[in-house]
C-alpha cells in the first residue's frame, strides 16, 4: 500500500509542475478521474461501438453545449452518452482539440470536424477547419466544399470557394463536384460576372448538369425538359452573344434548349442585323481581368470630322498586361479603327491593331454605354513608370464619349496617370478611351 501511495504522490507532483494545458493533455482519453463515457460507432472497426472516457468539467468549460448537457436544468444523469451522428475517430479528434488544443485535420475528417465544431459551439475549431479547407481547396474540389461552407455559414470559406471557381472556372465545371450542385448554386454561377471561361464551355457544362438532373429525376433528357429543369434565369444567364457563330451553330442549336425565336434572334445578331438579342446579355465577363474606367460620366455626340487622331498618354506605376482597350460607339454603328501604342519618348511603335468594329452595349461601373473593345492577343505589356501614347484613327458615325475624366485613377493596386498628347481630339477630361482591361504582372 505504501508503494502505491508513493507512486500516486509522484504522479501528482509530476502533474503539478505542468501548465494547465499539459495537465488536461495528460488525462485525454484516460480513465483516470473520468466520470462519463461517450459511446460512438467505429466504422473502421466494422461499425462496432467504442467508448471514449471523458471528464464532464473539462468538456463543460470548453463548450456551452456540454455545459448544458452535464450541468443544465436537463442535465444528463447517465454515466455514458451515445453518439449517433459521427464516427469514433472524429469524436476522438474533437476531444483531442478540447483537451490538447490540437486539431489533426485531414481530407477524410475535416467536414465532420466542422460539423462537430458547429454542433458543440467551438468557433476556434471551426476556424481551423475553415483555414484547412481554404489551404487545400482548388478547382477540383471547390464545388464539393461550397455547399458545406453555405450550410455552416462560413463566410470566409464561401468567398474563397467562389474566388477559386471564378479564377479556374473551366476546370471547376469539369470536376466531379459540379454535377452534384443545387440548381440555385448553378444559377448563381451563370449570373456571376467574374467567371474565367468561354461562354460555349459554360453552356456545355450547364447542359451536362441538366442531363444528369434529368437522369436523377427519371426524365428523358430532351431539350424542352432540360429547359424546364434549368429555368429561365439560368438560361438567360448564359451570354450567347459572346459565342462565335460557328460555336453557336455546332453546339447550342443541336441541344434544342433555346426556343425557335431565341435562335432566330441570335442568328440575326451574329449576322449584324440587330445589336443585341432581347433577353440576353452581351457584355463580356470580367473573369480575372480588371477593368479601369477613367471617366465619371458618359454622354455624346462625339464626331470624327477633323481628321485628327484621338489620343491619350498613359503611365502606370506597376508592370501590367493590357488585354483590351474600350472605345465609344453608337447604336447600330460600325467603326474602322487603327490603334497604335507608342513610347512617348522616342516614339517607338510597340503595338498596332487595325479592324472594323460593331458597337454594342458595354456594361460599366458607372453605367452601360455603346462601345466596342479592341483586344490585344497576346496581351500587351506596359512597363512601370514609362509613358505610352495610345493613338486611334477612327472613322464612322458620331459616337458616345466620356466626360469628367480623371488624370489619376487607382485600380487593383495600380495607379494610372493620364496626360494629353499634342494634336489630339481626345484629352484627359473628354473624349475616347473609356476603359482599360488589364491584369497585374
CA distances from 81 to 86, 113, 334, 368 (A): 13, 19, 76, 62
| Cβ contacts of 308 within 8 Å, gap of 6 or more | 423, 424, 425
Q: With beta carbons less than 8 A apart as the criterion, state whether 86 and 43 touch.
A: no
The domain made up of 290-440 is a member of CATH 3.90.1330.10: no
C-alpha cell at 338: 487603327
The domain made up of 18-135 is a member of CATH 3.30.710.10: yes
Residue 95: name the closest of 16, 154, 27 by CA: 27
CA dist., res. 48 & res. 33, Å (int): 25
Coil/strand/helix, residue 429: coil
- What is residue 349's predicted lDDT score, i.e. its pLDDT? 73
Q: With beta carbons less than 8 A apart as the criterion, state whether 254 and 248 touch.
A: no
Q: With beta carbons less than 8 A apart as the criterion, state whether 228 and 257 touch.
A: no
Would you list the domain boundaries of the chain?
Answer: 18-135, 182-270, 290-440
CA dist., res. 432 & res. 272, Å (int): 24
pTM exceeds 0.95 for this model: no
Beta-strand pair 334-343/388-395: antiparallel
pLDDT in tens, the chain (441 residues): 444 444 455 555 555 556 777 888 888 999 988 999 999 988 765 668 899 999 999 999 999 999 999 998 887 778 899 999 999 999 999 999 999 999 899 999 999 999 999 999 999 999 999 999 999 999 999 999 999 999 999 999 999 999 899 888 999 999 999 999 999 999 999 999 889 888 999 999 999 999 999 999 999 999 999 999 999 999 999 999 988 899 999 999 999 999 999 999 999 988 888 777 778 887 777 666 788 999 999 887 898 866 789 999 999 999 999 989 999 999 889 999 999 999 998 877 777 888 899 998 887 877 888 999 998 888 899 999 999 999 999 999 999 999 999 999 999 889 999 999 888 889 999 999 999 999 887
Answer left, alpha or beta for residue 265, where phi above 0 means left and psi between -120 and 50 means alpha.
alpha
Strand partners, 298: 402
- What is residue 45's predicted lDDT score, i.e. its pLDDT? 57
CA dist., res. 137 & res. 131, Å (int): 10
Amino acid at each position: 500500500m505504501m508503494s502505491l501511495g508513493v507512486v500516486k504522490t509522484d504522479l501528482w507532483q509530476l502533474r503539478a509542475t505542468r501548465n494547465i494545458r499539459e495537465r488536461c493533455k495528460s488525462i485525454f482519453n484516460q480513465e483516470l478521474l473520468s466520470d462519463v463515457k461517450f459511446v460512438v460507432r467505429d466504422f473502421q472497426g466494422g461499425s462496432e461501438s467504442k467508448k471514449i472516457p471523458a471528464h464532464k468539467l473539462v468538456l463543460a468549460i470548453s463548450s456551452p453545449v456540454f455545459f448544458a448537457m452535464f450541468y443544465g436544468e436537463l442535465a444528463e444523469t447517465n454515466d455514458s452518452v451515445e453518439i449517433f451522428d459521427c464516427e469514433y475517430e472524429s469524436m476522438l479528434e474533437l476531444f483531442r482539440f478540447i483537451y490538447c488544443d490540437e486539431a489533426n485535420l485531414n481530407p477524410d475528417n475535416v467536414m465532420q470536424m466542422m460539423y462537430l465544431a458547429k454542433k458543440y459551439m467551438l468557433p476556434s475549431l471551426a476556424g481551423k477547419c475553415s483555414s484547412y479547407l481554404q489551404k487545400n481547396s482548388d478547382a477540383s474540389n471547390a464545388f464539393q466544399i461550397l455547399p458545406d461552407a453555405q450550410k455552416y455559414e462560413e463566410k470566409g470559406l464561401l468567398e474563397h470557394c467562389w474566388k477559386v471557381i471564378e479564377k479556374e472556372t473551366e476546370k471547376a465545371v469539369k470536376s466531379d463536384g459540379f454535377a452534384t450542385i443545387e440548381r440555385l448554386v448553378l444559377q448563381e454561377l451563370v449570373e456571376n460576372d467574374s467567371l474565367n471561361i468561354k461562354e460555349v464551355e459554360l453552356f456545355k457544362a450547364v447542359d451536362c448538369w441538366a442531363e444528369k438532373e434529368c437522369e436523377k429525376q427519371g426524365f428523358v433528357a430532351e431539350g424542352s425538359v432540360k429547359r424546364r429543369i434549368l429555368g429561365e434565369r439560368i438560361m438567360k444567364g448564359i451570354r450567347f452573344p459572346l459565342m462565335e457563330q460557328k460555336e453557336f451553330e455546332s453546339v447550342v442549336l443541336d441541344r434544342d434548349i433555346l426556343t425557335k425565336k431565341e435562335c432566330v434572334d441570335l442568328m440575326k445578331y451574329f449576322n449584324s442585323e440587330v445589336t443585341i438579342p432581347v433577353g440576353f446579355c452581351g457584355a463580356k465577363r470580367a473573369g480575372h481581368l480588371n477593368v479601369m474606367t477613367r471617366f465619371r460620366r458618359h454622354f455624346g455626340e462625339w464626331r470624327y470630322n477633323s481628321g485628327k487622331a484621338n489620343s491619350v498618354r498613359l503611365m502606370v506605376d506597376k508592370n501590367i498586361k493590357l488585354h483590351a482597350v474600350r472605345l465609344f460607339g453608337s447604336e447600330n454603328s460600325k467603326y474602322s479603327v487603327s490603334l497604335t501604342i507608342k513610347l512617348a519618348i522616342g516614339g517607338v511603335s510597340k503595338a498596332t491593331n487595325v479592324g472594323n468594329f460593331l458597337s454594342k452595349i458595354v456594361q460599366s461601373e458607372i453605367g452601360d454605354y455603346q462601345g466596342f473593345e479592341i483586344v490585344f492577343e497576346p496581351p500587351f505589356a506596359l512597363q512601370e513608370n514609362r509613358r505610352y501614347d495610345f493613338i486611334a484613327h477612327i472613322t464612322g458615325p458620331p459616337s458616345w464619349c466620356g466626360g469628367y475624366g480623371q488624370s489619376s485613377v487607382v485600380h487593383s493596386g495600380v495607379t494610372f496617370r493620364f496626360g494629353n498628347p499634342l494634336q489630339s481630339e481626345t484629352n484627359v477630361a473628354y473624349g475616347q478611351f473609356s476603359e482599360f482591361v488589364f491584369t497585374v504582372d
